[in-house]
Amino acid sequence: MDHVIATAQAERTAILRRHHTDAWLAERSRTAAGGDNA
């Protein structure tokens, strides 16, 4: 049972990290393209 919980937590962490990275990359590319934050 503990293994199942640990796996679920690891998957959720990976998803959150990937989402954060995607948002960060989008912000970087928007800035590089001369967006609001340039």
pLDDT by residue (tens digit) across 18-38?
999 999 999 999 888 886 654
pLDDT: which is higher, 12 or 33: 12
- Taking the whole predicted model, whether its pTM rises above 0.85 is answered as no
Angle at the Cα of 23 from the Cα atoms of 17 and 15, rounded to 5 degrees: 25
Instruction: Give domain status of residue 16, yes or no.
Output: yes
Q: How far apart, in whole angstroms, are the C-alpha atoms of residue 15 and residue 25?
A: 15
Residue 12 covered by a domain: yes
Flag whether 36 is in a domain.
no
End-to-end CA distance of the chain: 49
37, 27 in Cβ contact below 8 A?
yes
Within a domain: residue 15?
A: yes
Q: What is the domain count for the chain?
A: 1
Cβ neighbours of 30 (radius 10 Å): 13
- Which residue range is the domain that position 26 belongs to? 1-30
SS3 content of the chain, % helix, strand, coil (to 5): 80, 0, 20
Whether 3 shows a pLDDT value over 60: the answer reads yes
